[in-house]
Homo-oligomer: A and B are copies of this chain.
Amino acid sequence: MKARRDVYQAIADPTRRAIINMIAAQPHNVNAIAANFDVTRQAISLHIQILADCGLINVKQQGRDRVCEARLDQLGEISVWVDQYRQHWENKLDNLEKYVVNLKNERNGKQSK
């Protein structure tokens, strides 16, 4: 039943993207998240389960709370997939390698080395 959904499907739902957006800024427990939507806690709970299933969020028990925090490295898969078509909407594409390297250097420049 729980056909392990992939990341593409996980982010296909706007509510789930909103959840990601919420906890990416800061971890929240299930109820706190649900409070921000019009649907039931149960509905949100299910979304959270789906997101957790494909590794986009991390849920840890803290007393009676289940705190959800973003763990979005799975998005890298999407990023790579999309980027391979970058040439279709940007001339800049050409090689992705440069793109990634630049990105990495940028990041490193901000922190170490």
Contact = CB atoms under 8 A, between A and B. Distances in A.
**Copies in the assembly, this chain:** 2
A22 to B, nearest CB: 12
A36 interface: no
B88 A94 contact: no
Interface residues of A, number: 40
Question: Interface SS of chain A: helix, strand, loop or mixed?
Answer: helix
22 contacts: A8-B11, A70-B88, A73-B88, A73-B89, A74-B89, A75-B88, A76-B96, A78-B82, A79-B82, A79-B83, A79-B86, A79-B96, A80-B99, A80-B100, A83-B100, A86-B103, A90-B107, A93-B100, A93-B103, A95-B104, A96-B103, A97-B100
